Amino acid sequence: SQTIHQWPATLVQPVGSPLSLECTVEGTSNPNLYWYRQAAGRGLQLLFYSVGIGQISSEVPQNLSASRPQDRQFILSSKKLLLSDSGFYLCAWSLTSRPYNKQFFGPGTRLTVL
């Protein structure tokens, strides 16, 4: 069966510090990978998606970047965090881009920027 891991689970960082969040998927090959952010009490907003190694697409301009160095590894980064980067970050995977493929989420990382 497939599992998705994210770490760290929680993170408190000062403004201006760097960020690296990691997501890994087990039990599948060449998945589509997604990074979402959820502000408090709100819905999820797609930040990045990847259909293969080294292929990253950004949905919204922002202070963050993403990379996919390995097939089942997806990393979210920032060189200098802003207060507005605080939120709940969720990684997700699906088999393909077809509308009927379910998308499964990791446990999330709760980021607080002070």
Q: State the residues that interact with another protein by CB under 8 A.
A: 32, 34, 36, 42-46, 49, 51, 57, 59, 88, 90, 92, 94, 96-105, 107-108, 110
Nearer to another protein, 27 or 107 (CB): 107
The DSSP code for 15 is T
Minimum distance between the CB of residue 38 and another protein, rounded to whole angstroms? 8
> Which of 59/80 has CB closer to another protein?
59
* Strand residues in the chain grouped as ranges (E): 3-7, 10-13, 19-26, 32-38, 44-52, 55-58, 65-70, 73-78, 87-94, 104-105, 109-113
Q: At its nearest, how many Å lie between another protein and the CB of residue 66?
A: 14
Is residue 31 within 8 A of residue 50, CB to CB? The reply is no
* Nearest approach, Cβ of residue 3 and another protein (Å): 13
Which of 90, 68, 94 minimizes the C-alpha distance to 9? 90
Q: Rank residues 30 and 80 by Cβ distance to another protein and give the closer one.
A: 30
Give the shortest CB-20-to-another protein separation in angstroms: 20
Chain length of the chain: 114
**Strand pairing partners for 109?**
89
Q: Which residue has 């499964």 as its token pair?
A: 104
Residue placing its CB nearer to another protein in the complex, 16 or 52: 52
